């Protein structure tokens, strides 16, 4: 079922923002409807850990490009969260014909098993706890399973939302000199992370503007928290202090950055910037960018805790330090004259390059 030829994947070198991945493994099972790729960007710190995305793509090139960027982001995210885990990602295409979802994820579990612990998977966009249970039938190298009392596990998105919220508090104090209760936050995407973030922001007294393609979900959040509803494109230029992208990445680029009114970017989405140059574009407009893979690390911290057998209290402690990690990166950026994104990239690469022999980790 596994194909191991990097040469079969037609992706240009410009896809990488720093260095190529260690391994790219196309996976396919026609019988199960499985078609996708697992990317192991780095295993210097430990097994490559990162969720499984299940999404519709225009073509295989777009799927592979997404996987490559997401895997690199996971390597940096895990390094800066001080996890002894490398970075990887699985991206699977939603079939364009009828399929058995459980069989598809069981086949994916077989692909993970054949990597013999080099890759640890979990939920991501488009996947659920039930999907991970299907994966678990064929491999032990999976997290995001049903939560047990007193232990990490289950849907990691509440932890992601928590880390974004804590980071937003820190960034707002630095950039605006005020707490969130005086600010308006535009949240793009009301999946589990975006909805959870809205709850925390409402509790903190922030005003909300939201965008979500599912009208019923948007209406529900608006009723709960008194939020204004906009469409996903218009929200980019909303009259807001903070823009929180919580859907897919690539939303800020040379076309959309000039339309921004928000002066702080802090959200749960991965790869928010279309290119590294977009960090400079934001800085030129005095927009503070909180690097996405720093602020949204709460989910992978929970995954690590589940996989390695930490207590729920240890996960909460580590997620609670997310804002402090952001503050250190912003301090470093200021000292070195770097954008926050460039500062985070530099520190992550330094941590990976300086790693000792990776640990041979096994699930608890």
For 295, the token pair is 């602020």
Q: Tell me, what DSSP letter sits at residue 15?
A: G
Question: Within the chain, where are the H helices?
Answer: 60-80, 101-113, 129-136, 157-176, 192-203, 215-225, 277-284, 292-295, 298-308, 312-320, 322-336, 340-353
Which is the catalytic residue, given 65, 89, 207, 263? 89
Given a contact cutoff of 8 angstroms between Cβ atoms, the answer to whether 96 and 109 are in contact is no
How many other CB atoms are there within 10 angstroms of residue 358's CB atom?
17
Pairing type for strands 52-55 and 184-188 reads unpaired
For 241, the token pair is 């202090």
For 275, the token pair is 């290119």
Annotate 82-144 with DSSP letters as a single string.
T-S-EEEEEEEEPPSS---HHHHHHHHHHHHHTTTTSEEB-B-TT--HHHHHHHHTT-S-B--
Question: At how many degrees (to 10) do helices 277-284 and 340-353 cross?
Answer: 140
Handedness of CA 266, 151, 104, 192 (dihedral sign): negative
8 is catalytic: no
CA dihedral in degrees (67, 70, 74, 75; nearest 10)?
70
Given a contact cutoff of 8 angstroms between Cβ atoms, the answer to whether 348 and 328 are in contact is no
Catalytic positions are 89
């Amino acid at each position: 079922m596994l194909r191991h030829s990097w040469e079969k994947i037609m992706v240009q070198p410009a896809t990488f923002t720093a260095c190529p991945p260690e391994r790219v493994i196309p996976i396919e099972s026609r019988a199960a409807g499985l078609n996708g790729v697992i990317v192991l960007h780095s295993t210097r710190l430990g097994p490559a850990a990162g969720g499984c995305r299940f999404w519709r793509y225009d073509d295989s090139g777009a799927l592979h490009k997404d996987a490559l960027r997401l895997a690199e982001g996971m390597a940096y995210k895990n390094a800066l969260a001080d996890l002894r885990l490398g970075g990887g990602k699985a991206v699977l295409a939603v079939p364009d014909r009828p399929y058995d979802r459980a069989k598809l994820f069981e086949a994916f579990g077989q692909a993970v098993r054949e990597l013999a612990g080099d890759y640890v998977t979990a939920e991501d966009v488009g996947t659920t706890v039930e999907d991970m249970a299907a994966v678990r039938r064929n491999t032990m190298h999976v997290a995001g399973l049903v939560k047990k009392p007193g232990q990490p596990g289950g849907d990691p998105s509440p932890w992601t939302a928590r880390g974004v919220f804590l980071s937003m508090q820190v960034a707002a104090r630095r950039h605006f000199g005020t707490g969130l209760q005086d600010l308006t936050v535009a949240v793009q995407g009301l999946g589990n992370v975006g909805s959870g973030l809205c709850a925390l922001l409402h509790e903190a007294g922030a005003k909300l503007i939201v965008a979500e393609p599912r009208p019923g979900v948007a209406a529900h959040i608006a009723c709960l928290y008194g939020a204004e509803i906009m469409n996903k494109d218009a929200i980019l230029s909303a009259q807001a202090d903070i823009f929180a992208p919580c859907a897919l990445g690539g939303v800020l680029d040379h076309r959309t950055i000039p339309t921004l009114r928000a002066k702080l970017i802090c959200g749960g989405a991965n790869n928010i910037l279309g290119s590294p140059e977009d960090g400079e574009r934001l800085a030129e407009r005095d927009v503070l960018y909180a690097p996405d893979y720093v602020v949204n690390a709460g989910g992978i911290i929970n995954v690590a805790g589940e996989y390695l057998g930490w207590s729920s209290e240890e996960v909460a402690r580590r997620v609670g330090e997310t804002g402090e990690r952001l503050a250190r990166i912003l301090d470093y950026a200021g000292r070195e004259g770097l954008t926050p994104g460039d500062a985070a990239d530099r520190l992550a690469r330094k941590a990976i390059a300086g790693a000792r022999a990776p640990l041979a980790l096994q699930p608890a």
